[in-house]
Amino acid sequence: MKYLILLLIIFCLLIIYYKSIYKQNKPWKSLPFTKRNFYSWMKLPKKERYHQTRIESYDYLNRRKILLAQIREEYKNISKNKNKFD
């Protein structure tokens, strides 16, 4: 009887351990938000949608920073060339 209870406890602990590892290593689905996949995007759990929107907003911010840096660099080059010809 003691062995049965001990085995049951060990089995429960293994299941809990497995579930905790599975939740930590669960890959996030890469599903951009568009009109076409609106329903599939809404089927994602709230945490995954939140995580996905954070990633998309971070990527969008980085693209805007890079574009702004390129515009500033081009403006510097234009102003330098303009000063050389004057």
Which pLDDT does position 58 carry in this prediction? 92
Which pLDDT does position 73 carry in this prediction? 94
Residue 48 lies in domain: 2-85
Full pLDDT tens readout for the chain, 86 residues: 778 888 889 888 888 887 777 665 555 556 677 788 888 888 888 888 888 889 889 999 999 999 999 999 999 998 888 777 76
pTM recorded for the entire structure: 0.51
Domain count, the chain: 1
84's tokens: 């050389």
Model pLDDT for residues 35-48, shown as the tens digit of each residue: 888 888 888 888 88
Coil, helix or strand at residue 31: coil
- 10 Å Cβ neighbour count for 86? 5
Which pLDDT does position 25 carry in this prediction? 55
Which pLDDT does position 45 carry in this prediction? 86
Q: How many residues does the chain have?
A: 86
